[in-house]
Amino acid sequence: MSASSAWLDLAAESIAVKVRWMGVVLGVALVELRAAQGASGGNVAALRLLLALGALYALVDTSFSLRGRVLLQRSPLVISVLESVFIGLLCHFDFGSGITSPFRYYYVLSLVSCAIRHDRRTTYATWLLHCLSYSTVPFTEPLGWAAFGWEYAITMVLLFWVTWASTALAELLKRARRDLQILNARLQSSHDLLEQRIAARTRELEEMQATLLHQEKMAAFGLLAAGIAHEVGNPLASISSLVQLLQRREQDSYTRDKLQLIEQQLRRIQTILRELVDFSRPSTRQIERVQLNRVLDEALSIARYYKGGKQRNLVVELEPDLPTFTANRDQLVQLFLNLVLNAIDATERGGTVRVRAFRTEDAVEICVEDDGPGVPQELAAKVFEPFFTTKRTGTGLGLFVCRKIVEQLDGTLRLHRSELGGAAFCVQLPVAREQRAVRQADTRVGAIAGADS
Ligand code: ADP
């Protein structure tokens, strides 16, 4: 039950209890006043006893009400019968006034309480019981049938009118409570929805901020690489032209061999510089068909220049002709580079880093494994959270960004235990539907060809 409807229930309950107490207090005052005035024809002791019972009943009723319950809630007619008898007796013992006794107004109070607490049918049944009770009062008097007159008729009309009015008002109150409950439920659900949206937006913002930070870091790294490439590139070009000049001259075989060697090494340095410049160019948002083998080659060749990259045993097992993907090339390079650099960081000098890429039924799997210490079980989920790092100079954004990139391609990035002993970060990229169709067709053709031969 909602707070607002509970409040309405409590308010209605408290009215019902107050109506009872008002009846008891007025009854006691009436009896005592008339006894003091020396009224005759009644049974004061019986009236006092009945009112004491009435007070006790009101007390029990109040204690139930305070605990949010209603006395005999499931059998309200028991209460109605008791009240009918109780009021009938009060009228009977009331100083001989019988049908004109002021206690007949108790029927009204009882009907009002009943309407507040119970449904329409119970209230009308109570009204019938009260009519019966009131109609028996004249027979307990010497007047008998002669007592039925205007007073009786007016009281009966009053009882019916009160029954109708109080049930109508109570119905109105109950309907208002129901409407309030519905409105409250709607309000609650919109509130929940709003909270969910705020939480989702906050998460998105945090993730975006983390991605931006990582991109800034990569951009700074690229700028540095471009600067170095530029500084080294110019003197290198001069050396290269000098070597070419020397090669055009007459030389003995020893000098020719050495010059050729120098030229080869210079070409190697130029290739490295070109790769560095390629990597450092501002990343684009361009989506294109990307050859997975080439992306992996590029990431691996950059990783080789990373500190310690040369001192690791880099094992590369790539299936030839891995499929192409529609993706952002720079992001894919960044993804695999991050994984390989992490593996290099995790291994000792002379350690092994293995990169495997192979096709499965409807995906391509690329696993970067190492023989480092691995990721402890309790950190397995945390390593993908932004800003989680165990490195002194780490940012904790690498794996987070990797996962984002993979998710954009509907793929998964999972952490396993490698058979090499360390961690295995495996990327699974689903092969596009059209490629799967081509592959199935190829398989079918292969099968037919096999059957023919
Ligand atoms: P960073 O490299 O800046 O720390 P990452 O998100 O790339 O950020 O990595 C988060 C953490 O995950 C690392 O600090 C490290 O503790 C753990 N981790 C990542 N790769 C490996 C790995 N191959 N072996 C062991 N731990 C790893």
What CATH number does the domain containing 261 carry? 1.10.287
User: Do 26 and 166 share a domain, yes or no?
Assistant: yes
Give the CA distances from residue 315 to residues 337, 354, 356, in Å, rounded to whole numbers and listed in that order.
15, 5, 8
For residue 368, the model assigns a pLDDT of 97
Q: How many CB atoms lie within 10 A of CB 437?
A: 10
Q: 383, 384, 416: which to mutate for ligand 1, most atoms within 8 A of CB?
A: 383
Domain membership of residue 130 (yes or no) is yes
For residue 444, the model assigns a pLDDT of 47
Domain count of the fold of the chain:
3
Which of 159, 190, 221 lies at the terminal end of a domain, its last residue? 190
Q: CATH code at 351?
A: 3.30.565.10
CA–centroid distance, residue 203 to ligand 1 (Å)? 22
User: Do 303 and 245 share a domain, yes or no?
Assistant: no
Kindly write down the DSSP assignment for every residue of 369-380, as one continuous string: EESS----GGGT
User: Do 136 and 244 share a domain, yes or no?
Assistant: no
The CA distance from 7 to 14, in Å, is 11
CA–centroid distance, residue 206 to ligand 1 (Å)? 20
Q: What is the CA radius of gyration of the chain?
A: 47
**Which residues sit opposite 316 in a β-bridge?**
355
For residue 452, the model assigns a pLDDT of 40
CA–centroid distance, residue 219 to ligand 1 (Å)? 20
Helix extents (H) in 318-386: 329-346
Instruction: Please state at what angle helix 44-66 crosses helix 3-36, rounded to 10 degrees.
Output: 170
Q: How many CB atoms lie within 10 A of CB 386?
A: 21
The CA distance from 420 to 353, in Å, is 9
Sequential pLDDT tens for the chain (453 residues): 455 555 666 677 788 888 889 999 999 999 999 888 887 777 889 999 999 999 999 999 899 888 878 777 788 999 999 999 999 999 988 876 788 899 999 999 999 999 988 899 999 999 999 999 999 988 877 666 777 788 899 999 999 999 999 999 989 988 988 899 999 999 999 999 999 999 999 988 888 887 787 777 777 766 777 777 778 887 888 888 888 888 888 788 889 889 989 988 888 787 777 766 666 665 566 788 999 999 999 899 888 877 666 789 999 999 988 889 889 888 899 899 999 999 999 999 999 999 999 999 889 999 999 999 999 999 998 999 888 999 887 778 889 889 988 988 999 999 999 999 999 999 999 986 545 544 554 454 444 444 443
Q: Sign of the CA dihedral 96, 97, 99, 101?
A: negative
The reply to whether ligand 1 has any atom less than 6 angstroms from the CB of 396 is yes
Give the CA distances from residue 25 to residues 12, 20, 87, 106, 211, in Å, rounded to whole numbers and listed in that order.
20, 9, 15, 12, 76
If DSSP codes are grouped into helix, strand and coil, which group holds residue 366? strand
Domain membership of residue 445 (yes or no) is no
Q: Sign of the CA dihedral 32, 34, 36, 40?
A: negative
For residue 77, the model assigns a pLDDT of 93
User: Do 153 and 219 share a domain, yes or no?
Assistant: no
Which of 158, 190, 222 lies at the terminal end of a domain, its last residue? 190
Domain membership of residue 449 (yes or no) is no
User: Do 293 and 432 share a domain, yes or no?
Assistant: yes
Domain hosting residue 327, numbered range = 288-440
For residue 437, the model assigns a pLDDT of 47
Domain membership of residue 198 (yes or no) is no
User: Do 166 and 253 share a domain, yes or no?
Assistant: no
- CB 88 within 8 Å of CB 155: no
Nearest CA to 96 out of 62, 137, 155, 154 is that of 137
Q: 213, 342, 404, 413: which to mutate for ligand 1, most atoms within 8 A of CB?
A: 342
For residue 69, the model assigns a pLDDT of 81
For residue 223, the 8-state DSSP code is H
Domain membership of residue 203 (yes or no) is no
User: Do 176 and 264 share a domain, yes or no?
Assistant: no
Which residue's C-alpha comes closest to atom 21 of ligand 1?
Answer: 342
Nearest CA to 363 out of 299, 429, 449 is that of 429
For residue 449, the model assigns a pLDDT of 43
User: Do 261 and 300 share a domain, yes or no?
Assistant: no
User: Do 45 and 182 share a domain, yes or no?
Assistant: yes
Report yes or no on whether pTM surpasses 0.85: no
The reply to whether ligand 1 has any atom less than 6 angstroms from the CB of 376 is no
Domain membership of residue 70 (yes or no) is yes
Domain membership of residue 45 (yes or no) is yes
User: Do 319 and 226 share a domain, yes or no?
Assistant: no
If DSSP codes are grouped into helix, strand and coil, which group holds residue 365? strand
User: Do 63 and 95 share a domain, yes or no?
Assistant: yes
Number of H helices, E strands in the chain: 11, 7
First to last CA, the chain: 78
User: Do 177 and 224 share a domain, yes or no?
Assistant: no
Q: How many CB atoms lie within 10 A of CB 128?
A: 13
Which residue's C-alpha comes closest to atom 8 of ligand 1?
Answer: 396
Q: Sign of the CA dihedral 22, 27, 28, 29?
A: positive
Nearest CA to 240 out of 273, 271, 258, 262 is that of 262
For residue 429, the 8-state DSSP code is E
Which of 233, 260, 279 lies at the terminal end of a domain, its last residue? 279
The CA distance from 325 to 294, in Å, is 11
Pick the atom of ligand 1 nearest to 384's CA.
6
Domain membership of residue 340 (yes or no) is yes
Q: In the 3-class helix/strand/coil scheme, how is 228-297 assigned residue by residue? A: HHHHHHHHHHHHHHHHHHHHHCCCCHHHHHHHHHHHHHHHHHHHHHHHHHHHHCCCCCCCEEEEHHHHHH
